[in-house]
Structure 1
Amino acid sequence: MRLISFEADGREQPGAVVTGPDGTDRVVALGDLSLAQILEHGPRIAAAAGSADITALPTLTEVKLAPPVRPGKILCLGYNYAGHTQEQAPPFPNVFIKTPNTICGPGDAVVMPPSCTDVDYEGEIAVVIGTRASRVPQAGAMAHVAGYTLFNDVSDRGWQHRTDQWALGKSADGFGPLGPWIVTTDEVTGLGGRTVEVERNGVVTVSASTDAMVYDVAFLVHYLSQIITLEPGDIISTGTPGRFPQAQAAHTPLTPGDTVTIRVTGLGELTTPFVSMEENR
């Protein structure tokens, strides 16, 4: 099933997307359920949502989507696709952290601060944790995964490369578009054989198979949980494939008016416009 958050009555509310007999996606509000309940019991909630009078529900296009989760921790992978920058895979996962202030929703504009003059994008699949995971074995790690969503790891390379610590370049306000929904593991059991595609202004700059991922989801949950307790709603962003050589050679920093779209087979697509701070006033 697809889980979302949407804006209603001045606050973000959880919901599920159901498809009516006419093929239209509609939204079932999930009331006062907690995030943990929703993520842990997605299949059961899907059954309840399916019993609703679908034709009376608002369509997906009629609601304003918010980030599907507000993660307490955002753990990201660098160089996790074969051929991305390095000829050989790193001996251990290359993990860095983005801060929660980066999260924004599907369709939200990323506002580029004046001090950020080398803004870049990376299209990724994010793993959403469903149940608390602490020092879990690899064999049981997938039981702690609720599902998957899309993530744009926006960075300012100038800030990122000022030091050997990446946090400031990765963590400007709004530099983490997330969504549009979480596809739960009862619908998507694994990431194998999917195509990750990224467009900038309608031009495809990345197209690669998830089969090129160096470290898979089960290993990442196991590995990270050895020292960090993962909580419901936390995300692990699994890294970006490298750009096409011609796209990388022609790459320039993002500018106001640019749009980036990420799409992954079976997970949907996430489109983000980029604007200047002056345009956002």
Structure 2
Amino acid sequence: MREATGHGPPKLPLMHIVRYRRGQDGTPGVGVRDDGVVRELPVPSVAALLRERVADLRALLGAPGDVVEDARLLAPVDGATEVWAAGVTYLRSREARMEESSEADIYGRVYEAARPELFFKSAAWRVVVDGEPVAIRADSGLDVPEPELALVVNRFGEIAGYLVCNDMSSRAIEGENPLYLPQAKVYAGACALSAGIRPVWEVNGADLAVAVRVTRDGVAVWSGTTSTARLKRPFAELVDYLFRADHFPDGAVLSTGTGLAPAMDFTLQPADVVTIAIDGIGELTNPVVVGKEHFEHQRPGIEVESRP
């Protein structure tokens, strides 16, 4: 399987940390995927990896074990790892929030403030992976994907790697009242992550091209590009605020906010397909559904498989 960059020709495969389930016996595991081949690591979970220093993690990844045959990829988070997100970190996201909101000045102030906007996004077991559906709420009439680079952070607050994130959002609900943010952002099918973690020592996350495309009946109805270089806040600052007043014993994923937002006359519809690509990190593709009923199978300890 080749990793795509933007929406151009595919490039050579990249190394990723992955979670998988063996196709033959269903045994779960953690491994390194390189050149399309998954090799096992001697750890029980990604959470266990995020209990290690980055230097120790790098040494462990340098000596993977046997090839895993017929590995089916799972969500790249497990255990007590939480997914958090940052908001209003790009000028475009500031403008978009101000366009939609009845309290527009709040977003202008938080963009300029010393303290960033951070919010809880998902427990590990609720995360959707590449190929699985993302959702729009049945009680929202204005919904968008939010393409973002996500930081994978260990328990020491060190950035260990990167993921592609789709931080699904109801613009209608958040726009009605900023205090409705949790309902606009946290619901079944609202958080999608790419299947593999790109190690931090393999890529510079400070200037990566981010691209999004939404297709409807095979036709692109919205697309855009930006760069992580346009982020207002450094990665280290976002991580520092996340770790200031809480412990993350199994690490955390922190999505860094979006620099891409469509005009107010665009909304996702059922059966749309959202594709997000970040150069050097990977690609994430998800069809769109409406409502929580599509996620009744999600339970703690129940793994959701990505497409082969």
Category of TM-score, reference length = shorter chain? 0.7 to 0.9
TM-score by length of 1: 0.79
The CA deviation at 1:149 is: 0.4
Q: Cα RMSD (Å) of the superposition?
A: 2.7
Report 1:257-276 matches (<5 A).
257-276=271-290
The CA deviation at 1:158 is: 3.3
CA contact (8 A) 2:136 2:170 kept: no
The CA deviation at 1:121 is: 0.8
CA contact (8 A) 2:17 2:33 kept: yes
Deviations 1:62-121 (Å, cap 9, x if unpaired)? 543211113633221111113433478321312222232641111111244533443321
Cα 1:129/1:117, change in 2 over 3 Å? same
Q: Does 1:191 align with 2:202?
A: no
CA contact (8 A) 1:74 1:235 kept: yes
- Cα distance in 1 for residues equivalent to 2:231 and 2:141: 30
Deviations 1:200-233 (Å, cap 9, x if unpaired)? 1145522111111011111111222222223434
Letter of the 2:260 counterpart: G
- Cα distance in 2 for residues equivalent to 1:43 and 1:270: 25
- Any idea what SS the aligned residue of 2:91 has? coil
Q: Does 1:239 align with 2:248?
A: no
1:124 aligned partner: 148
Report 1:124-273 matches (<5 A).
124-133=148-157, 144-165=158-179, 166-188=181-203, 190-201=204-215, 202=220, 205-243=223-261, 247-248=262-263, 250-251=265-266, 253-273=267-287
TM-score by length of 2: 0.73
The CA deviation at 1:269 is: 0.6
2:76 aligned partner: 68
1:90 aligned partner: 112
**Larger displacement relative to structure 2 (219-228 or 122-131):** 219-228
- Cα distance in 1 for residues equivalent to 2:30 and 2:274: 26
Question: How many equivalent residue pairs?
Answer: 254
Letter of the 1:205 counterpart: S
Letter of the 2:90 counterpart: Y
Cα 1:163/1:84, change in 2 over 3 Å? closer
- Cα distance in 2 for residues equivalent to 1:112 and 1:242: 18
Q: Identity over aligned residues, as a percent?
A: 26
CA contact (8 A) 1:69 1:233 kept: no
The CA deviation at 1:260 is: 0.6
- Cα distance in 1 for residues equivalent to 2:183 and 2:291: 18
* Structure 2 gap segments, 5+ residues each: 1-14, 96-107, 297-308
The CA deviation at 1:145 is: 1.4
1:30 aligned partner: 41
CA contact (8 A) 1:161 1:169 kept: no
CA contact (8 A) 2:276 2:285 kept: yes
CA contact (8 A) 1:129 1:231 kept: no
The CA deviation at 1:162 is: 4.7
- Cα distance in 1 for residues equivalent to 2:28 and 2:138: 30
- Cα distance in 2 for residues equivalent to 1:233 and 1:195: 26
* Structure 1 gap segments, 5+ residues each: 20-24, 134-143
Cα 1:93/1:79, change in 2 over 3 Å? same
Q: Does 1:108 align with 2:132?
A: yes
Letter of the 2:234 counterpart: D
- Any idea what SS the aligned residue of 1:84 has? helix
1:138 aligned partner: none
Cα 1:38/1:97, change in 2 over 3 Å? closer
2:302 aligned partner: none
Letter of the 1:82 counterpart: L
